[in-house]
């Protein structure tokens, strides 16, 4: 029998109460490994938790999702799976945090040379608006010539 096709029974215990018995592809680092579409519906990745309005709530991953991309990449991707039962609702930002985020985003729109607030975020590499960056490049070209 091909070892890749062999399935093992995995029993997962959550909070000492709930038992989930399901077929897995084996174990890696002590965690059951599932393939694409094989994980039980009670286990979600971080992205799936976020989409559902949840967060891992400090829990360690209880299983792994391992799959390969289609060609030309064909590399293995490993995603951690978390229990929905132990997940918590996402936190909402406080008014003070929203004000701080707004100020931070406004600061990203200010050019360091001319001080004008742009309607876009200036590049973090130069912190200059397009006009000032073009002027600086022209000065550098003029000095080099």
Which of 76, 77, 63 shows the shortest CA–CA distance to 31?
63
Strand-strand pairing, 43-44 and 31-34 = unpaired
Q: Is the pTM of this model over 0.75?
A: no
| Predicted local confidence at residue 143, as pLDDT | 66
Q: What is the CA radius of gyration of the chain?
A: 25
pLDDT in the model for residue 108:
93
Question: Do 54 and 88 meet the contact criterion of CB atoms below 8 Å apart?
Answer: yes
* Mean pLDDT, rounded, of the chain: 84
**pLDDT tens-digit map of 23-38:** 778 889 889 999 888 8
Q: Are strands 88-89 and 54-55 parallel, antiparallel or unpaired?
A: antiparallel
**Is residue 112 pLDDT above 90, yes or no?**
yes
136 pLDDT tier (thresholds 50, 70, 90): confident
Rounded mean pLDDT of 86-111? 94
Band (pLDDT 50/70/90 cuts) for residue 3 is very low
pLDDT tens column, 30-77:
899 998 888 888 999 999 999 999 999 999 999 999 988 887 777 888
Element (H, E) at 106: helix 95-107
């Amino acid at each position: 029998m091909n070892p890749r096709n062999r399935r093992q029974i995995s029993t997962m215990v959550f909070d000492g109460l709930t038992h989930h018995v399901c077929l897995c592809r084996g174990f890696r680092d002590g965690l059951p490994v599932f393939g694409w579409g094989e994980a039980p519906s009670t286990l979600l990745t971080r992205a799936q938790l976020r989409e559902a309005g949840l967060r891992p709530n400090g829990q360690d991953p209880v299983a792994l999702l391992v799959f390969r991309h289609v060609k030309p990449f064909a590399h293995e991707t490993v995603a951690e799976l978390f229990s929905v039962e132990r997940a918590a609702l996402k936190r909402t930002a406080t008014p003070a945090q929203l004000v701080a985020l707004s100020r931070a985003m406004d600061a990203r729109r200010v050019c360091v040379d001319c001080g004008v607030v742009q309607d876009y975020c200036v590049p973090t590499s130069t912190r200059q608006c397009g006009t000032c960056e073009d002027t600086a490049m022209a000065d550098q070209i003029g000095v080099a010539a």
